[in-house]
Amino acid sequence: MASNSKAAFSLPSILSIIAVVISFKTGAILGFILAVVAILLGILGVVLSLAPSVRGGMASLIGIFAGVVGIIAAVAKAIMWLF
C-alpha cells in the first residue's frame, strides 16, 4: 500500500542544530552542556532517520560534528577565562 505523505525531518535533528547554534553564543559551561546535548540529539536523529518516513540524517550528522566543534570551543573559552 502506497503512502502519499512526505518524509518529515525528525525533531531531534532540528533540536540538535538549534542546540549547537545556542552553544556557540553562550559561555563555556552552558556551551559545553549544549554541545553534548546536540551530539546526543544528533545521534538520536541519525537513528530515527533510518526509517523511510523520516528525514534529517544529514542534519543530524551536521549537529554531531558541530557539537564536537562546540565542545572544543567551550574548552577554549574556559581556558581563556582561567588565564
Query: Which ranges of the chain would DSSP assign to H, the alpha helix?
Result: 11-24, 28-48, 57-82
Residue located via cell numbers 542544530: 17
pLDDT per residue over 16-33, tens digit each?
999 999 999 999 999 999
- Could you tell me the three cell numbers for 71? 565542545
* 21 or 10, which is more confident: 21
For residue 54, the cross-strand partners are: 8
Is residue 60 a contact partner of residue 11, using CB atoms and an 8 Å limit?
no
**pTM for the complete prediction?**
0.86
With H, G, I as helix, E, B as strand and everything else as coil, classify residue 1: coil
